[in-house]
Amino acid sequence: MLANSINQLITDLPTQIGSDVTAFLSELVLCGTVVALLLGRLLGIDRKMPGHWIAMAGTLIAFGIAFGNVYANGPDAYQVGEDAQLFSGLLVNDGLTVFFRLFLLVFLVLVIALTVLSGIPDNEDGPDFYTLLIGATIGMMLMASANHLLMLFLAVEMASVPSYVMVGFLKGKRLSSEAALKYVVYGAGAAGVMLYGTSLVAGMLGTGQLHLVAEKLRDLLTSEVGVGTDMSTAAVRTIVLGVMMILVGLAFKLSLVPFHFWCPDAFEGAPAEVGGFLSVASKAAAFALLIRVVHQLTGFGDLAVPLAIGLGVIAVVSSTFGNLAAYFQTNVKRMLAYSTIAHAGYMLTGVVAMLVALEDGNQMLATDCVEGVLFYLSVYLFMNLGAFAIVALIRNRTYSEEIADYRGLKNECPWLCVMMAVCLFSLVGLPPLGGFVAKFFVLAPVWEAASIHWSMGVLVGFALLNTVFSLFYYLKVPVAMFIVDRPEDARPARTGSTEAVFVLLLTAPILLLGMSPLISKLSLAAERVAHDTITVPDGARTSTSPEK
Amino acid sequence: MFQEHLPTLIIFAPTIGAVLLMLMPKDNEEGLRYTALTVTIVTFILTLALLPGFDMSEAGMQYTYSAEWIPNWNINYQLGIDGISLPLILLTSFISLWAMVASWSITKQIKGYLILFLLLETGMLGVFMATDFFLFYVFWEVMLLPMYFLIGIWGGPRKEYAAIKFFLYTLFGSVLMLVALLMIYFNSHHPESNEHIFDLLLLTDAAQGNEGLLNPVMQQWAFWLLFIGFAIKIPSVPFHTWLPDAHVEAPTPISMILAGVLLKMGGYGILRIAFPLCPVAVFDGSTVLVAIGVISIIYGAFAAMAQTDFKRLVAYSSVSHMGYVVLGIGVVGVVSADTASDYWKMGINGAMFQMLGHGVSSAGMFFMVGVVYDRVHHRNLNEFGGLAGKMPLYTGLSAGIFFAGLGLPGMCGFIGEVFVVLSAWQFSKILAIVAASGVILTAGYILWTLQRVYLGAEYKGPHEEALTPMLARERIVAGVLLVFAIILGVFPNLMFQYMIPSIQKLTDGMAGQMAGL
């Protein structure tokens, strides 16, 4: 099989490589930026030209390429079905890939801008930090475009390893090193489990191609020589185990309960900038991968719905636990860490409903579910990064990330406080902020899926109850900022206008995505991507097996 | 052109004002205040500009405006005004204007206060004009944040507790409403394209057509989810416990808005959404509705009687008075498939008028409490007395406004209560008797309050020296509210003429679904 792949690669190389590389250009530019950063360090250029300029320039070029492609070609910027495969099927360049490529590049630009403002890697450490940051982003972009179980594992690891280092980036701090160590140990464990899972699945199905998993599964379970969907068969048990192990790896990246233990510690120890980066980028990439993997689980037939309900339970437990645990936190970063656990739970309900809808053959509904998740992630980017950015900027003045030290800040830096309130209330999901629209777009299709399986209604119920719970702890920050007076001996925390403008830039999309016609623009784009993601593999299937 | 965009202009005039205030320096306090006042005056004038173009004989929506907002979900920015919303829109801009005048007593962080105040006004006006369920929900929630901060920052000693209690209760109610919204959305169909819709007008048509919108079981669910959401806002017993705390802690102008406008949104929401979309559930649930109404009347009155805090007493009187609203809309009766009984129409008319009357009188009562609190900094009823000698004009105006709240004939409180009690008599004589006895209890606690606060030989509490005559600004607010309480009481038709056709359309439309039961 390996020989075949190599042969195919060699024969296809001259014709294929050109278009493959074009589609992969943004990632290559980022790779080039990493090389430039390291070379700059080697030649001492970083003394004259700080690392963040090189990083920013490279990211902007990569973003320009990705955006220009989408801008010029519209829906033709990506391919569908077999045409979308790159590098002999290891990667795909479909709608989801393009969506997350843009998403991650926008995010990377914002994070680099934030680090420049907050100055967390100093000039000395700059090139190292940006190498890690960009390296992790490349890994995440690969996660979003992985089309092979091997790539799935490699991409997750490529995203994880730089993340471990970034969490421990504050070298002198004990808390930071401890956080990094916890993250590494958990990450290594999860990676091992996931690797085992991928080998089980690949071994049972005889393919590593992600888009073939559903078909092979169906063949294995239902064809004449099939083993049926009876859990008592060893083959079924093995494959279910394999799939679950892969899901464990992804759940670790998503910090879903019970694979979340690293998350609060890592976020508390890491600089807020890194926390913001991990909470958004790594989650988004993991969701892209999760959508691809869960989409293939339809091959399980009757077993798919129980699996979906299992995931639904994880979603409910994650959001409930995240919200309850967040209530007792006194450190803002730790509180936000628990909040990201809860939000992963909300978004997971959308993926669960997608599986249920697909199993029922309702592709329209499945499209809506994916659309909701994509929209949620887009809003989540701004509200979560906004919150972390404000934490970082305030930390630069007060040297504290405790809620108690936020008391009465409204007089010191009113804009940051107002924007923090916007971010947090958007995280609660209150209109007219983007968080509400996002939550609505995720939960509405889940509610509709309740007509297929009643448990989906329960998911919505829990998500809504959690919204009420979450108000309690999110409010603690605005209460401290606006209602309580500043203690006499508190450190002054006046911030400059550049910071305010940057934060305003981050929060403006939250307002726009809550009120303006931009909502429909984004949701239409998300719908198109979701539509192509959901329906294309099915179309491909009809070409191979006409009776289906 | 102007007519078409007038509702939008009204809703967003306060927002524009808020943006203007944001750009002004915060040291110029008088400038900020007068700008904000101008904005509320302009908004009030704009709402008055609705009247000439409003066709009183037309029962349906007027000034309709619709633009696509999120087309792939069929969510529209859709506004409209009918006889049910018009009086409440006028009330909102009217009370906001006088609450703004009353806001001169606020001295702390005036810029933030005024901005939030104006944003709150946008939310309130939006609720009364939205004819798209999603838009309605958004405006409904928009009010939460400004209200939370207005109570939480500018409130009294237990402001944090009161603010979060208000926030949680309302958010919980909203979440229930959201579930009902999802139920209704996924069962709706556009008559032509067959897609799901949020358009309340089309939803109403569907709900009152032959097929109905929801099946009876789902109607029960949707109705009670919506009702709890709205009952929290009204507030009806047993969902009322946030109100006394919120009122006691809120600054005076915010109490005026809270009692004068916010509570009316609950009643409006029931009439605009819960009733027309779930007629069968309304028919089945009418007994529960009237029971809740009567319990609120009696419980609120007794609770008011037991208070020693002046403001808390007025707050409980709101619970009692808003009970008449629930009672009035709950006396469901049907004659035939396209006609509702006259007493039901009369009940809803009475409930609507009660909302208007209570809007004026309760805002006035809270203002009067605020006037004396600003002077002596306490509200303990047992330490008052003898104010009539020190502040004769204040005493006179207060007595007038409290009598309006009591429901003295010739004043605004009377019309609503009489209409509701008369229609309740047709529905159930026992309930009517109990409700009518609530009037006596009301008279009891209000007269007793007047006696404890204004009469008596001398003032017994602290800060006696601070009991100075009313300022010109205070005289204007109190005077205007009293004048309007009398005008509404003497010429109730000023408001009835707008609402009767729309209420007839609402009830007759629901009768079709009910008559078959």
Q: Is residue A3 part of a domain?
A: no
Q: Is A9 left (phi over 0), alpha (psi -120 to 50) or beta?
A: alpha
Looking at the partner chain, which of B68, B153, B178 has a beta carbon nearest the beta carbon of A483? B153
C-alpha distance from A537 to closest chain B C-alpha (Å): 24
Q: Evaluate whether A164 touches A183 at the Cβ level (below 8 Å).
A: yes
Cβ <8 Å between B171 and A523: no
| Residue B517: band (very low, low, confident or very high) from pLDDT cuts 50, 70, 90 | low
- Taking the CA atoms of residue A313, residue A317, residue A318 and residue A322 in that order, the dihedral angle to the nearest 10 degrees is 170
Query: Is the residue at A254 inside a domain?
Result: yes
Mutate to test the interface with A, among B75, B139, B145 (most CBs of A within 10 A): B145
Q: Are B72 and A523 in contact (CB < 8 Å)?
A: yes
CB-hemisphere CA count at 13 Å for A445? Answer: 33
Q: Half-sphere exposure of B152 toward its Cβ, with a 13 Å CA cutoff? A: 25
Q: Distance from first CA to last CA of chain A, Å, rounded?
A: 27
Assess if residue A489 is contained within a domain: yes
Hey, are the CB atoms on B138 and A443 less than 8 Å from each other?
Answer: no
DSSP class of residue B404 equals: H
Task: Count other Cβ atoms within 10 Å, centred on residue A28.
Answer: 14
**Does the distance separating the beta carbons of A467 and B142 come in below 8 Å?**
no
* Least confident range of A327-336, A486-495, A500-509, B493-502: A486-495
Interface list for chain B against chain A, based on CB atoms closer than 8 Å: 68-73, 112, 137-138, 141-142, 144-145, 149, 152-153, 159-160, 163-164, 167-168, 171-172, 175, 178-179, 182-183, 185-186
Q: What is the pLDDT of residue B442?
A: 92
User: Which residue among A451, A483, A517 sits closest to B160, beta carbon to beta carbon?
Assistant: A483
Asked if residue A547 belongs to a domain, the reply is: no
B126 CA: distance to closest CA in chain A (Å): 12
Q: Which domain holds residue B284?
A: 2-515
Sign of CA dihedral A95, A97, A100, A104: negative
Contacts of A447 in chain B (CB under 8 A): 179, 182-183, 186
CA distance B426 to B96: 37
User: Chain A window 205-264: which residues touch B at a Cβ cutoff of 8 Å?
Assistant: none
Q: Which of A223-227, B54-58, B472-476 has the lowest mean pLDDT?
A: A223-227
Assess whether pLDDT exceeds 50 at residue A516: yes
Phi and psi of A197, rounded to 5°?
-60, -45
Interface touch A468/B149, C-beta < 8 Å: no
Asked if residues B126 and B76 have their Cβ atoms less than 8 Å apart, the reply is no
The DSSP secondary structure of B116-127, one letter per residue, reads: HHHHHHHHHHHH
Residue-averaged pLDDT of chain B: 90
Q: Are A210 and A243 in contact (CB under 8 A)?
A: no
Looking at the predicted structure, is the pLDDT value of residue B28 above 70? yes
Does residue B409 sit in helix, strand or coil? coil
Check the CA dihedral A48-A54-A55-A60 and report its sign. Answer: positive
pLDDT of residue B502: 92
- C-beta atoms of A451 and B186 within 8 A: yes
Chain A residues near residue B186 by CB distance under 8 angstroms: 444, 447-448, 451
**Contact residues on chain A for B183, CB-CB shorter than 8 A:** 447
What is the C-alpha separation between B468 and B449, in angstroms, rounded?
21
Q: Given CB atoms, is A464 within the 8 Å cutoff of chain B?
A: yes
A516-545 average pLDDT score: 71
pLDDT in tens, B134-186: 999 999 999 989 999 999 999 888 888 999 999 999 999 999 999 999 999 99
* Total number of domains in chain A: 1
Is A465 part of any domain?
yes
Q: Which domain holds residue A420?
A: 16-537
pLDDT tens digits, A407-424 = 888 888 888 899 999 999
Q: What are phi and psi of A169, to 5 degrees?
A: -70, -30
Within 13 Å, how many C-alpha atoms sit on residue A142's CB side?
A: 25
Torsion A460-A464-A467-A468 (CA) sign = negative
Q: Is the pLDDT of residue A548 over 50?
A: no
Model's pTM, two decimal places? Answer: 0.92
For residue A83, pLDDT over 80 is answered with no
CB atoms within 10 A of CB A124: 12
Closest Cα of chain B to A520: distance in Å? 5
Give me the phi and psi of A126, to 5 degrees please: -50, -60
Q: Tell me which residue in B141, B163, B182 faces A444 most closely, judged by beta carbons.
A: B182
Number of domains in chain B: 1
Q: Regarding predicted confidence, which is higher, B337 or A53?
A: A53
pLDDT at A12 (0 to 100): 63
Q: Which residues from A are below 8 Å from B159, CB to CB?
A: 483
pLDDT for A231 equals: 64
Check if A512 contacts B (Cβ < 8 Å). Answer: no
